[in-house]
Amino acid sequence: MSQVLIAEDNAGIAAFVAKGLRSAGYAPVVVGTAREAWEHAQTGEFDLLILDIGLPDADGFSVLRRLREARNSMPVIVLTARSSVTDTVAALEGGADDYMPKPFRFEELLARVRLRLRAEGAGGAEATVLMVGDVSLDLRTRRARVAGKEVDLSAREFALAEMFLRNPDQVLSREQLLSRVWGMDFDPGSNVVDVYVRYLRKKLGADVVETVRGMGYRLPTNGSGE
């Protein structure tokens, strides 16, 4: 049974995550401070750390930094504030394996937890690469490639591409994409999704993402890059 350490001082969120993980078959332990997070993470008893950035004694970044400095490579999923792109970027640059903008649905977090634990089990780097057709995303280094050539994606473009590659052939509605990539549970009436799909097509290839009229977008597994 995988042991998951949750460092989160908000008791409501911590309980919600712990309860969900327990019913998904994991053994969660909750701590509420950066000091405890560091102490527990160091023991080597945990398979994964879910790390909040806003902890009362020190921020989550300091825990992440210390872990990586100590060459502790346990997978870390950072909980970031929805609005803070800076935090997200800092988390990934600081060695986080993934991030989860708050507020989130438990299923979204669970999918990330599963993926991280699976990647570890499979022995690292290879398993963190998503690939469909010519497009590949390295989730660890946050690098994208098309037919082996590196392509520069912004953090948001990468997150959107990741959604498509994780759900090949599925139609994803604007609402789903807004919710999972931008963390908005309402449509602010902007065309932000359409704009970013355009960016992705420009960077990854025009036929990488299909428009499904009246429904949303889809990444087809055949035809891309052919």
The verdict on 59 binding Ca ion (CB under 5 A) reads: no
The verdict on 138 binding Ca ion (CB under 5 A) reads: no
Position of minimal CB gap to Ca ion: 54
Kindly tell me which of 8 and 120 has the beta carbon lying closer to Ca ion.
Answer: 8
The verdict on 175 binding Ca ion (CB under 5 A) reads: no
The verdict on 36 binding Ca ion (CB under 5 A) reads: no
The verdict on 207 binding Ca ion (CB under 5 A) reads: no
In this structure, which amino acid lies at residue 179?
S
**Which segment (23-31, 48-56, 90-98, 173-181) binds Ca ion by CB under 5 A?**
48-56
Angle at 129 between CA 167 and CA 49, to 5 degrees: 90
Kindly tell me which of 33 and 136 has the beta carbon lying closer to Ca ion.
Answer: 33
For the CA atoms of 113, 114, 117, 118, the dihedral, rounded to the nearest 10 degrees, stands at -150
Cα distances (Å, whole numbers) of residue 171 to 62, 142, 163: 39, 24, 11
Give the sheet arrangement for strand 143-146, strand by strand: 129-132, 135-138, 143-146, 149-151
Kindly tell me which of 52 and 162 has the beta carbon lying closer to Ca ion.
Answer: 52
Kindly tell me which of 32 and 216 has the beta carbon lying closer to Ca ion.
Answer: 32
Rounded to a whole number of angstroms, the minimum distance from the CB of residue 104 to Ca ion is: 14
The verdict on 87 binding Ca ion (CB under 5 A) reads: no
Kindly tell me which of 9 and 134 has the beta carbon lying closer to Ca ion.
Answer: 9
Residues 185, 29: Cα–Cα separation, whole Å: 29
Rounded to a whole number of angstroms, the minimum distance from the CB of residue 167 to Ca ion is: 30
Rounded to a whole number of angstroms, the minimum distance from the CB of residue 9 to Ca ion is: 5
CA 220 to chain centre: 22
Which of residues 26, 48, 52, 96 is near Ca ion by CB under 5 A? 52
Q: Which residues, numbered 5-34, are part of the site for Ca ion (CB under 5 A)?
A: 9
Residues 70, 42: Cα–Cα separation, whole Å: 9
Residues 2, 47: Cα–Cα separation, whole Å: 6
Residues 225, 223: Cα–Cα separation, whole Å: 6
Interface ranges with Ca ion (CB under 5 A): 9, 52, 54
